[in-house]
Amino acid sequence: GLDGFESTDAIIVIGATNRPDVLDPALLRPGRFDRHIVVDQPDVIGREKILGIHIRNQKVPVDDSVKLDELSKGVPGMSGADLANMVNEAALLAARKNHENVTHLDFEEAKEKLMMGAKRHMVISDDEREIIAYHEAGHAMLMEYIEEFDPLLKVTILPQGRGLGVTMPLPEERKLMSKQFCLASMAVALGGRVAEKLIFDELTSGASNDIEKVTAIARHMVCEWGMSEKLGATALGEKEGEVFLGKDIGH
Ligand code: ZN
């Protein structure tokens, strides 16, 4: 309990949790903890500073080429721990390549490894490689041409993580999803499937991640963000506890 302190005692009690949702409400009542401070994931400036701190603390020798602001922009949503990991990984990669100092490219490579989990050893036939190339090119073209979406950062058909290839945007920091951006994201996500259909007149399972993404965005737009012209500004689905109405419409 927090009892037993006189108001004149110079004692500050600090508590921290990553699960505020399961806290005993008694702890949150007035007079218990006076200030509630939300520590969110770091933003672009925060990430840059955190990278700098880890580089200094771990005494990682970095090259002049390293641009922390650029690295920070490319990793939205990364936590402090992720960033520490990235610094470690970059140092390991540099050591493996006998670099005297860690270069910007070492950092980029570390970032990709952490974000995608490189799977470079996978064997893929030429025919499949061609399909994957057109698929990724479809994403990349739309990313270039659709202005409402983030700019294209890089595209590759070297297998990474869950995907056989990847097309990466340089994402902007956003807290709000506009309807235009949602629609643009869906178009870009479907670019791979459309390219396959245009060139080979065939569908493959390669688009499964994309379809998952598109479905999730569409569901959010209609059921949570009230962006459907037909259904209007209504929250539908289990989240709001309206299982009886929401589930049917949602499905
Ligand atoms: Zn795809």
- Measured in angstroms, how far is the CA atom of residue 190 from the centroid of ligand 1? 7
- Measured in angstroms, how far is the CA atom of residue 55 from the centroid of ligand 1? 35
Residue 243, both tokens: 């299982």
Measured CA to CA, the distance from residue 82 to residue 78 in angstroms comes to 6
- Measured in angstroms, how far is the CA atom of residue 250 from the centroid of ligand 1? 25
Average pLDDT, the chain: 86
Measured CA to CA, the distance from residue 130 to residue 125 in angstroms comes to 9
**DSSP E strands: which ranges in the chain?**
152-156, 166-169
pLDDT tens per residue, range 168-210: 888 888 889 999 999 999 999 999 999 999 999 999 998 999 9
* Helix and strand element counts for the chain (H, E): 9, 2
Query: What is the set of active-site residues?
Result: 136
CB-CB neighbours of 38 under 10 Å: 5
- Measured in angstroms, how far is the CA atom of residue 170 from the centroid of ligand 1? 16
pLDDT tens per residue, range 202-251: 999 989 999 999 999 999 999 999 999 998 898 887 654 444 444 444 44
Measured CA to CA, the distance from residue 167 to residue 182 in angstroms comes to 18
Handedness of CA 153, 158, 160, 165 (dihedral sign): positive
At 241 the pLDDT is 45
Phi, psi values for residue 118, rounded to 5°: -65, 140
Residues near ion ligand 1 (CB < 5 Å) are 192, 210
> Left, alpha or beta for 135 (phi > 0: left; psi -120 to 50: alpha)?
alpha
Contact 181, 227 (CB under 8 A): no
Contact 185, 169 (CB under 8 A): no
- Measured in angstroms, how far is the CA atom of residue 155 from the centroid of ligand 1? 11
Longest dimension (CA), the chain: 78
At 118 the pLDDT is 54
Q: How far does CA 102 lie from the centroid of its chain? A: 25
Question: What global pTM score does this model have?
Answer: 0.60
- SS3 at position 244: helix
